[in-house]
Amino acid sequence: MRFLLGKRKERESRKEPSLGISRKYALMPGRSYVVEESPPHMSLDAFVNLVTTSEAEGQKTAGIVVTRQHPDLLREKYGLEETPVYWLATRAGDMVMSPTNLGILANMLIRFAEQTPDGVILLDGIEYLVSNNDFGKVLKMVDQVNDHVLQSGCRMIIPVDPRAFDSKQLALLERNMDKLA
């Protein structure tokens, strides 16, 4: 019932330990990126690279992940120790986000963007959100979060399987975002 009431224990986003490697993705602050791929290897690689490397001034980047993949498997595969990982699933539990509750998802991501202007959001599972909601509602939620990302200076990465959308839907998703290739 916790996911219906909107009272959830959010995990504070802390910064990952540095891996001592350089940044290989130059994702600009205040921008959102769509990555056409399946599975989301490049998106996760870019996200992990951002949260485990330092910028020129030595400042680390905090991140948050919303994903359809199980958080334990994602953490193990990509070495995410401190980053909050929310699982899009229909079951209840800590760090689980209902795919039908777009309002709570949007509020959480907006709050992260406003509180972490140098942060990065990975929103993986857009196809799952659309399969549980109307495409228009999901697009409206993505656009709402994107507005806050643009204003705050945060970054957002959204992997999209192009096979799951028709060309009009894909164009609507990509219209206010950059393509990462």
Residue-wise pLDDT for 40-78, tens only, equals 999 999 999 999 887 655 677 899 999 999 999 999 999
Q: What is the pTM of this model?
A: 0.85
> What DSSP character marks residue 112?
H
Q: How far apart are CA 112 and CA 84, in angstroms?
A: 11
Top CATH class, 29-179: alpha beta
pLDDT, residue 92, reads: 86
> What DSSP character marks residue 38?
S
Q: Are the C-beta atoms of residues 97 and 131 closer than 8 Å to each other?
A: no
pLDDT, residue 152, reads: 95
C-alpha torsion 98→105→161→168, nearest 10: 120
pLDDT, residue 59, reads: 73
Q: How far apart are CA 89 and CA 87, in angstroms?
A: 6
pLDDT tens digit string along 6-23? 444 455 556 555 544 555
Confidence of residue 2 (pLDDT cuts 50, 70, 90): very low
Q: How far apart are CA 6 and CA 81, in angstroms?
A: 25
User: How many distinct helices (H) and strands (E) make up the chain?
Assistant: 7, 7
Q: How far apart are CA 126 and CA 130, in angstroms?
A: 6
What residues pair up with 92 in beta bridges, in sequence order? none
